[in-house]
Amino acid sequence: MRSSSMDVTSGEELCPVCDFAFSRVLPRQVREHDAHHRRYLVACDGIRAPARRVVREQMMREGAELLVHGETLAERVRGSERQLQALFHEHLAEVLLGHASRRLDFREVVTSMNMSGRLDGRYEQEVANELRQRYSDNL
């Protein structure tokens, strides 16, 4: 696996798939990357996730833009969905790193946010109600 973000002199690179920074010239770091990369692929489970950190940040910005400037409820809901997708990918990254004990699917993430009151705290009432209708198991 070759990366376009490699420092040729030191052999240091950032894996373009799993975001792991390591040096190819240090066997221990290569082994650590290989182990992390395998966990990453298990966490992905065919859904090309978790998205890289920069992609998650971009998703949050795009969602915020739609939430602030969306003229219709549908546009604002699209913005909230974009942010929820970023949060879902954050959850997958936590699973990958071992900070979350079990992997939730998207619906479970939204349901847990609904149950804890974080949908209402994060989004205007109309948007939160639409998200509950679409994604929450507990209406």
Answer yes or no: is pLDDT of 6 > 70.
no
Same-domain pairing of 14 and 74: no
Same-domain pairing of 26 and 70: no
pLDDT of residue 130: 93
pLDDT of residue 139: 57
Same-domain pairing of 68 and 33: no
Same-domain pairing of 105 and 86: yes
pLDDT of residue 5: 42
Q: What is the DSSP letter of 67?
A: H
Measured distance CA(109)–CA(107) in Å, rounded: 5
Is 25 a member of any domain? yes
pLDDT of residue 3: 36
Q: Supply 132's token pair.
A: 């509950």
Same-domain pairing of 38 and 58: no
Is 82 a member of any domain? yes
pTM of the model: 0.67
Instruction: Write out pLDDT tens, residues 24-62.
Output: 888 899 889 888 888 777 766 655 668 888 999 999 999
Measured distance CA(122)–CA(109) in Å, rounded: 14
Q: Supply 92's token pair.
A: 């997958």
Same-domain pairing of 85 and 112: yes
Same-domain pairing of 31 and 92: no
96 is in which domain, residue-wise? 53-135
pLDDT class of 136 with cuts at 50, 70, 90: confident
Task: Give the total number of structural domains in the chain.
Answer: 2
Is 97 a member of any domain? yes
Instruction: Write out pLDDT tens, residues 77-118.
Output: 999 999 999 999 999 888 877 888 888 888 898 999 989 999
Is 1 a member of any domain? no
